[in-house]
Amino acid sequence: MRSSLFSVLFAALLGAAAARAATAPQIAAYYDGGMPVADIPAGELDTIFYAFGEPDAGDVCEAPTAAQLRTFGELRRLRRLHPGLRLLVSIGGWDAAPQYSDIALTAASRAKFARSCIRLFIVQQRFDGLDIDWEFPVRGGMNKSRPQDRADATALVRELRMRLDALGRRTHRHYLLTVATPAGTWQRGGAYSVSESYDLAALVPYVDWLNVMTYDMNSVYSPYSGFNAPMRADPRDPAPEPERARDNLVGAVRYYEAHGVPAGKIMLGVAFYGRGFTGVSGRHAGLYSRFTGGFPETAWKIIESRMLTNPHWVRHWSATAEAPWLYNAGRHIFFTYDDPRSMAIKAAFARRERLRGVMIWVLGEDDARGSLLNALVSHLAPARPCS
C-alpha cells in the first residue's frame, strides 16, 4: 500500500512538473542562415524556425535545395545535443509567398499543399512542425490577394492541422503548427488591420500558438518617424487613431486577446535589429517627424559596435515607449532599435501577462556576448539557468 501510494504521489508530482514546464514562458527564434548552425545558442531556446521553406507555383511546397538539406542535417544534430529543442520550418515570408492566395483557394489545392509540405519537411526531414508565414491575406503585403483570403487562410490552417494530427496518430506524437501574424497597422498601401486578414478566433483551435510580429510598428509606410517596437501608446504621437493606440506591444496584445486569442497562444515578437528614417526634423531629436526616406535595417551587433561608439549618433530614451533611439543631427536621421534594457522590459511584460513567451527575429544579429538573448532569458524566466 505504501509503495503504491508513493507511486501515485510521484506520478502526480511528475504531472505537475510537466504542466508547469508546458506553461512556462518560452523562447522561440527564427533562423535564416545568418550564423553557423553550430553557433546557435540552442541551450537558451525552446524552438527554432528555419526561414524559409517556399510555396511553389504548383500549389505545393518547393523541394529543399542541396544547401538547405545540409542545413537541415546540421539542425537535427543540434537538436540531438539539446533534447527538448523543437525544429519547425517556416513557409513563406514577406516577399516569398506570392502563391498563397492560389494555394488556399480550393479544398483540392489546400490538400495538395498540406500533403507536400508534410511529406517534404515532417516525414522526410523530421521537423517537429510547420509555421505558416503568409504576409498577408486580403491586403497589406506584397503578395497576390483576394477578398476571400481571410476565410481561405483559416481553411488552409485547418487542413494542415487535420493532416498533422492524422500523422501524429500514426507516429504517436504531436506535431506543432504555428502562424506568423502581424501587429503593426502601417503596412503596404496604408492603414491596415490584422483582423481584415485573419479570423484570429477561428485560427485558435488549430494552432499551438501565433508568432505575433510585434515589431515593424513604424516603417517607411508610416506617416511619421516612430519606434519600431514601443511598449505603449504615446499621446504625443501624431499618428491618427486607432493606429496610434494599436502600434505598440501592449495595444497589440490587448487587440489579439479582444479578438479571441488567449494569452497562452501569443508569442510576443522581438526584433534583434533597428531601422531609421532620413530627412527628419531636429525637433524632438527626430522623433514623430515627417521624413523623406528609410534608413536600412541594421543588426544589433552593428548598432552596438559602430553606432553607439560614434559620437554623431546621440542616444535618447523614451519613458513611454520604454525604448532607446538615436539621432544623427548632421545627417537628419532618426534610428529606432532595442537594447538589453528594453528587451528586459519586453520579457518581463510577456512573463507578467502569462504569454506563451517571446519570438526572436532573427538569430545572427545579436552581439558576440548574446546581450539581447541574455536579457530575455534572465527576465522572461528568472529561475531558468543561463549558459
Catalytic positions, written as ranges:
135
**Dist. CA 206–CA 96, nearest whole Å:** 24
Contact between 175 and 206 under an 8 Å Cβ cutoff? The reply is: no
Render 253-282 in DSSP notation, one character per residue.
HHHHHHTT--GGGEEEEEESEEEEEES--T
Output DSSP code: residue 38.
G
User: Which element (helix H / strand E) includes 13?
Assistant: helix 2-23
Output DSSP code: residue 24.
S
Grid cell in block for residue 302: 552593428
Closest CA to 139 of 203, 185, 93: 185
The residue type of 228 is N
C-alpha of 332 from chain center: 31
Grid cell in block for residue 253: 496584445
Neighbours of 116 (CB within 10 A): 19
**Dist. CA 212–CA 266, nearest whole Å:** 7
Grid cell in block for residue 281: 526634423
**Dist. CA 148–CA 130, nearest whole Å:** 23
The residue type of 37 is V
Render 100-161 in DSSP notation, one character per residue.
HHHHTSSHHHHHHHHHHHIIIIIIIT--SEEEEEES-SSSSSSS---TTHHHHHHHHHHHHH
Contact between 222 and 239 under an 8 Å Cβ cutoff? The reply is: yes
Query: In this structure, is the dihedral angle defined by the CA atoms of residues 149, 244, 94 and 35, taken in order, positive or negative?
Result: negative
**Dist. CA 253–CA 350, nearest whole Å:** 10
